[in-house]
């Protein structure tokens, strides 16, 4: 029993999960039951995949000991690339592949420069934040191109599920979240990612190709952010060059709220997903409770700090519970 | 002398200006425990880093069972049966014992291009066995390395090296920061390598430890081997003199 309590207290995503449940109850009461009705859930679940997919990539990269501030800009550059190509008559799927290739290239550059020149990824990706945003505006020609009419919305944005509760994008999100979670917990690659971020010299001494592992995580992170951006553009129907601004910090906040440590080696995809849901729930719940919307950022900021403090406290308490090792 | 298990021939290493190894040639027999001693900066770590693939020699040759081998990364060394226990800890504190034991060598249920799904049942079972084999008493392979004492961690590192059936076991100052009791355990372990036909290379700056468990003593100074004797044919004074 003690052992079980200890294991649960050590789960870094636990604090966020408890908080999520509490907030859902509070919002449900304060909104007189509107919060959990089908219409409102549809709103939350429709947007969740866009930040959620970004958070999955950011979480994995942070577990690997690195950091990506460029995801918000990549979120915009991927659909803009596609829109420009499609305006020139390129079919959707080719444009999609080209967009993903751009994301992969950006992730590669982020990782390669960080490792090759041994500089903090904070700096590399801060630079990329500006570069990718600038490129988005440049290739749009200052005027976002019109999207063609024959887009495969059935694959990404149509409402599906019981009572049309969520969009297709939600299914993508669930599948990718599960796959990412299994990759981290069940595959040798996941083991390498955690070892690389947990203690780099040990990972190197055991022969893990740490540079390749890191670059792969950077690429994965960029590609997920770009994919998420495409989904948002399909939902909105127009490729605005400003989408995703500020999201890089929300994504980091979500990962941290979900128990991922900035220092690497600690965290879980599930935690990031819970963090992303929390952010969506707070955004929506504040509006429903008729709180001034400007409190949203305050709440996210407060939660980020609170989650880290709570996790460190839980971790210490867990250590204090003596079980035989 | 029988065929050496591992030999180095005319090894040189330069670090931009520093000549850290100067023409080092040594033979290590199977079932021989060799103590490598010398002051800080003598080149001990450089020598064993080259053997364990953490660094590459600037010049020279490494032979295993008489055949020249190429060791350009830690994986090469491990595949050749060279296991290293480092002076800093080669364990990831935020990961479990079972996961640490198999980092980079995870048993897979199926795989594609070397990536695949880990056989976690096998990892749990084998890590319990590996830990028991080195007389370490830990109840769960799921405990995090970060929760173990320095001695326990070193024990897990030894269990890992033993589990992968090494031919050559290198211990680079493994007793630093250990309590007396734990240090004695490591020394006992170095002695026991002989029965298992494993070549042990034990680096320490504590000369007593080396006399306690090694058959042969090699002393290094300023990148060169300055003394190479059977433990029985030398004494501490002679060694103090050359260092
Ligand atoms: N990575 C490195 N870069 C530059 N010089 C190094 C490096 N590693 C060791 N040295 C130098 O090589 C010499 C031998 O060091 P080392 O092998 O660590 O000695 P020991 O382990 O015997 O204390 C020292 O002069 C040290 O400063
Ligand atoms: Mg040394």
The residue among A61, A92, A51, A100 whose CA lies nearest residue A265 is A61
Same domain flag for B77 and B93 = no
What is the domain count for chain B? 2
- In chain A, the number of structural domains is 1
Cβ distance of A204 and B54 shorter than 8 Å: yes
Q: Return the ligand number nearest the Cα of B36.
A: 1
- With bands split at pLDDT 50, 70 and 90, how would you rate the model's confidence at A2? low
Same domain, B74 and B174: yes
Residue A277: both structure tokens together: 């849901």
> Which chain B residues are Cβ-neighbours of A187 within 8 angstroms?
115-118
CATH number at residue B18: 3.40.50.300
Question: Global pTM?
Answer: 0.92
* A170/B155: higher pLDDT: A170
Contact criterion met (CB below 8 Å) for B141 and B175: no
Cα–Cα distance list, B204 to A94, B8, B91, B144, B153 (Å): 62, 20, 20, 28, 18
Residues B63 and B28 reside in one and the same domain: yes
Strand pairing report for B67-69 and B59-64: antiparallel
Nearest to A206 among B94, B104, B148 (CB): B104
SS3 labels along A205-240 = HCCCCHHHHHHHHHHHHHHHHHHHHHHHHHHHCCCC
Q: What is the mean pLDDT of residues B211-216?
A: 90
> Are B175 and B207 members of one domain?
yes
Q: Is residue B194 located within the same domain as residue B136?
A: no
Range of the domain at A9: 2-320
Taking the centre of ligand 2 as the mean of its atom positions, its distance from the CA of residue B173, in whole angstroms, is: 7
Last residue of a domain, one of B149, B180, B197: B149
Spell out the residues 6+ positions from residue B64 whose beta carbon is closer than 8 angstroms to its own. B5, B6, B80, B81, B167
Contacts of B212-215 with C-beta under 8 Å, sequence gap 24+, read: B212/B187, B213/B33, B213/B35, B213/B187, B213/B188, B214/B33, B214/B34, B214/B35, B214/B190, B215/B32, B215/B33, B215/B34
Identity of the residue in A202, A324, A325 whose CB atom sits nearest the CB atom of B91 = A202
Range of the domain at B112: 89-149
**Residue of chain B whose Cα is closest to the Cα of A6:** B143
Residue B44 lies in a domain: yes
Q: What is the pLDDT of residues B65-110, one digit of tens each?
A: 999 999 999 999 999 999 998 867 789 999 999 999 999 999 999 9
Q: Cβ of B53 under 8 Å from any chain A Cβ?
A: yes
In a domain, B161, yes or no: no
Rounded Cα distance, A241 and A80, in Å: 7
Tell me what percent of the residues of chain B surpass a pLDDT of 90.
Answer: 59
pLDDT, residue A11, reads 77
Cα A207 from Cα A216, distance rounded (Å) = 17
Residue B1 within any structural domain of the chain: no
The complex's ipTM works out to: 0.89
Pair (B71, B117) in one structural domain: no
B159 found inside a domain = no
- Is residue A252 a part of any domain in this protein? yes
Is residue B154 situated within a structural domain? no
Is A161 contained in some domain?
Answer: yes
Q: Residue B165's pLDDT is what?
A: 82
Hey, is A245 helix, strand or coil? coil
Q: Is residue A85 part of a domain?
A: yes
Q: Which of B121, B149, B177 is the last residue of a domain?
A: B149
Q: Is residue A325 part of a domain?
A: no
Give the pLDDT band of residue A63 (cuts 50, 70, 90). Answer: very high
Question: Which residues lie with the beta carbon below 6 Å from any ligand 1 atom?
Answer: B 15, 18, 20, 38, 40-46
**Residue B232 tokens, joined:** 């029985």
Best of B103, B131, B149, B160 to disrupt the A interface (most A CBs within 10 Å) is B103
Q: Residue A7 contacts by C-beta under 8 Å, 6 or more apart in sequence?
A: none
Kindly indicate the confidence band of residue B133, based on its pLDDT and cuts at 50, 70 and 90.
confident
The radius of gyration of chain B's CA atoms, rounded to the nearest angstrom, is 18
CATH number of the structural domain spanning residue A82: 1.10.3470
User: How far is residue A54's CA from residue A140's CA, in Å, rounded to a whole number?
Assistant: 23
């Amino acid at each position: 029993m003690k052992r079980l309590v200890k294991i649960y207290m050590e789960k870094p995503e636990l604090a966020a999960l408890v908080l999520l449940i509490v907030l859902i109850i509070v919002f449900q009461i304060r909104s007189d039951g509107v919060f959990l009705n089908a219409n409102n859930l549809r709103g939350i679940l429709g947007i969740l995949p866009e930040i959620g997919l970004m958070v999955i990539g950011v979480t994995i990269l942070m577990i690997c000991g690195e950091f990506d501030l460029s995801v918000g800009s990549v979120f915009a550059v991927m659909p803009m690339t596609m829109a420009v190509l499609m305006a020139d008559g390129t079919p959707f799927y080719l444009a999609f592949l080209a967009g993903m290739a751009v994301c992969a290239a950006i992730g590669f550059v982020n990782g390669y420069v960080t490792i090759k020149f041994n500089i903090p990824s904070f700096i590399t990706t801060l630079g990329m934040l500006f570069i990718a945003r600038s490129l988005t505006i440049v290739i749009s020609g200052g005027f976002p191109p019109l999207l063609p009419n024959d887009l495969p919305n059935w694959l990404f944005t149509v409402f599906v599920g019981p009572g049309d509760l969520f969009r297709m994008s939600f299914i993508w999100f669930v599948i990718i979240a599960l796959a990412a979670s299994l990759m981290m917990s069940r595959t040798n690659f996941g083991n390498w990612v955690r070892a690389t971020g947990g203690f780099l010299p040990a990972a190197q001494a055991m022969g893990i190709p740490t540079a390749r592992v890191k670059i792969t995580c950077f690429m994965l992170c960029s590609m997920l952010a770009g994919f998420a951006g495409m989904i948002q553009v399909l939902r909105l129907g127009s490729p605005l060059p400003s989408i995703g601004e500020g999201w890089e910090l929300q994504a980091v906040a979500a990962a941290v709220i979900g128990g991922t440590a900035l220092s690497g080696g600690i965290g879980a995809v599930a935690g990031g997903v819970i963090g992303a849901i929390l952010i969506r729930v707070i955004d929506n719940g504040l509006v429903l409770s008729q709180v001034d919307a400007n409190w949203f950022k305050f709440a996210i900021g407060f939660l980020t700090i609170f989650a880290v403090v709570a996790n460190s406290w839980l971790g210490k308490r867990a250590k204090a519970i003596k079980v035989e090792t | 002398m029988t065929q050496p298990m591992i030999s180095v021939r005319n090894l040189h290493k330069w670090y931009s200006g520093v000549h850290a190894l100067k023409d080092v040639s040594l033979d290590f027999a199977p079932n021989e425990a060799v103590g490598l001693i010398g002051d800080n900066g003598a080149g001990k770590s450089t020598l064993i880093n080259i053997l364990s693939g953490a660094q590459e020699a600037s010049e020279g040759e490494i032979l295993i069972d008489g055949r020249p081998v190429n060791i350009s990364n830690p994986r090469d060394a491990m595949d050749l049966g060279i296991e290293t226990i480092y002076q800093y800890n080669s364990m990831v504190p935020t990961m479990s014992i079972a996961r640490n034991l198999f980092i980079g060598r995870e048993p897979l249920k199926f795989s594609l291009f070397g990536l695949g799904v880990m056989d976690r049942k096998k990892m749990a079972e084998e890590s319990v066995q590996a830990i028991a084999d080195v007389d370490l008493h830990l109840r769960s392979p799921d405990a995090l390395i970060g929760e173990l004492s320095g001695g326990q961690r070193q024990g897990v590192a030894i269990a890992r090296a033993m589990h992968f059936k090494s031919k050559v076991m290198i211990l680079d100052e493994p007793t630093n920061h250990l309590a007396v009791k734990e240090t004695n355990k490591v020394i006992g372990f170095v002695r026991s390598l002989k029965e298992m036909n494993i070549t042990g290379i034990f680096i320490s700056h504590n000369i007593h430890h080396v006399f306690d468990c090694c058959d042969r003593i090699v002393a290094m100074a300023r990148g060169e081997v300055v003394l190479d004797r059977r433990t029985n044919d030398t004494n501490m004074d002679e060694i103090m003199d050359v260092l």
